[in-house]
Each structure stands twice: as C-alpha cells, then as structure tokens.
Amino acid sequence: MRAVVGVALFLRAISCHGATMESAANPIRKVVTMLQNMQTKVTEEGKREEDLYQKFMCYCKNSGDDLAQSIADAEAKIENVAASLEESTELKEQLTADLKDHTANRDDAKDTMAKATALREKEEAAHAKEKSD
C-alpha cells in the first residue's frame, strides 16, 4: 500500500512538471492518470474490505455466544427427550399388554355369550317340546 502511495506521489510530481508539455497525447500523462485512478480504486476497496472485516469479526464474536447457548440448550433438551422417549416406550408396552388382556377378555365374553345363547336355545326348544306334548 505504501509503495502504491509513493508511486502515486512520484507520478503526481512528474505530472506537474509535465503539465507544460503536451497533455492531450502525452503517454506519460495517460499512465499517471491510470495510476491515480488505480490508487483511488485500491483505497476504496481497502475501505470496503476493512468494513467487511469489521462486520465479520462482530458476527463471529456475537454468533459464537449464540451458538454456544444453542448447544447448551440442545444438550439439556437431549436428557428430557430421552426420558420422554423412555416413558413413552414403557407406556406403549403397558398399553400393548392391556390390549392383549382386553382382547382375551372380549373373546372369553363372546364364548360365554355363545354358550349362554346355545343353552337358552336348547332350553327353549325343550320348553317348546314340553308345551306341545
């Protein structure tokens, strides 16, 4: 950067000296003008890069804390989710066992109802036969 500034100052000095010469078609003047434009562009780019760097550093400092907090929250949540998962698994096993018991009770009730219905039909048939005799 210092070299560019030094070259630019040197070329300005030459350009002032060369002002007495033809300035319209002077190739040295063209080079000096191009170098001055380049110096302006480099300075502007340097300012933009510095601003971007400062924004990036601010982002890094702030987001690091946010990220650490998010990680801590997630780690704390892991234990809760694991406990909830275990509780849900136990509840599912209990409900599956209850379902088996209730299904077995229902099947027993159907068998009992079928036997009772068959017995009533048999008794009804016997009663109807006695009544008709």
- Tens of pLDDT, residue by residue over 23-35, are 556 899 999 999 9
Q: How far apart are CA 68 and CA 55, in angstroms?
A: 20
Per-residue confidence band for 117, with pLDDT thresholds at 50, 70 and 90: very high
- For the entire predicted model, the pTM comes to 0.41
What does pLDDT average to over the chain? 85
Tell which wins on pLDDT, 128 or 12.
Answer: 128
Average of per-residue pLDDT across 81-108: 94
- Tens of pLDDT, residue by residue over 49-84, are 999 999 988 888 888 778 888 888 999 899 999 999
* Buried/exposed 66-102: b ≥16 CB within 10 Å, e otherwise: eeeeeeeeeeeeeeeeeeeeeeeeeeeeeeeeeeeee
